[in-house]
Amino acid sequence: MKYRYYLLDTNILGPLAEFKAAIKTDESAKIEKHMNALPENTRIFLCPISVGEVESGVRIDYKNSDKTKLAQEILSAFTCLPIDANLAREYYAKLRARLFNKYAPKDSDNRKKRRMEEWREPTTSKDLKIQENDLWLAAVAMAHNLILVTRDNMDAIREVAGSAIAFENWLE
- Over the stretch 103-153, which tens digit does the pLDDT of each residue have? 877 776 666 666 677 777 776 767 777 888 999 999 999 999 999 999 999
Q: How confident is the model at residue 98 (pLDDT cuts 50, 70, 90)?
A: very high
- Give the pLDDT confidence of 42-69 residue by residue, as tens digits: 999 999 999 999 988 888 876 667 778 8
3-state secondary structure at position 62: coil
- Are residue 34 and residue 89 in the same domain, yes or no? no
Question: Which of 80, 112, 140 marks a domain boundary?
Answer: 80
Listed residue (66, 77, 60) closest to 13, CA to CA: 77
Residues 32 and 59 in one domain: yes
Last residue of a domain, one of 48, 80, 112: 80
Q: Give the mean pLDDT of 80-91.
A: 97
Distance, in Å, from the CA atom of 20 to the CA atom of 17, rounded to the nearest integer, reads: 5
| % of the chain surpassing 90 pLDDT | 59
How high is the mean pLDDT of the chain?
88
Residue 45 and residue 97 in one domain: no
Closest Cα to residue 59, out of 68, 46, 47, 50? 68
| 128: containing domain | 85-168
Domain count, the chain: 2
Q: Give pTM, 2 decimals.
A: 0.88
Say if residue 12 is in the same domain as residue 54.
Answer: yes
What's the farthest any 2 CA atoms get from each other in the chain?
Answer: 55
Choosing from 35, 63, 80, the residue where a domain stops is 80
